[in-house]
Amino acid sequence: MPITPATATHSPSNGTAEAILLELVDENGVTIGTAEKLAAHQPPGQLHRAFSVFLFDEQGRLLLQRRALGKYHSPGVWSNTCCGHPYPGEAPFAAAARRTHEELGVSPSLLAEAGTVRYNHPDPDSGLVEQEYNHLFVGLVQSPVRPDPDEVGETAFVTPAELAERHAKDTFSSWFMTVLDAARPAVRELTGPSAGW
Predicted TM-score of the model (pTM): 0.89
Residues 177, 37, 154, 161, Cα dihedral to 10°: 0
Set 23, 103, 130, 132: catalytic member: 132
| Mean pLDDT (whole number) for 172-194 | 96
For 3-49, the pLDDT digits (tens) are: 333 333 343 344 446 789 999 999 999 999 999 999 999 999 999 99
In the set 83, 103, 130, 151, the catalytic residue is 83
DSSP string, 67-78: EPTT-SSSTT-E
**pLDDT for 110-169, tens place per residue?**
999 999 999 999 988 788 899 999 999 999 999 999 999 999 999 999 999 999 999 999
Please check the confidence at residue 65 and state whether its pLDDT lies above 60.
Answer: yes
Mean pLDDT (whole number) for 82-96: 97
Q: Examine the residue annotation and report whether 83 is marked as an active-site residue of this protein.
A: yes
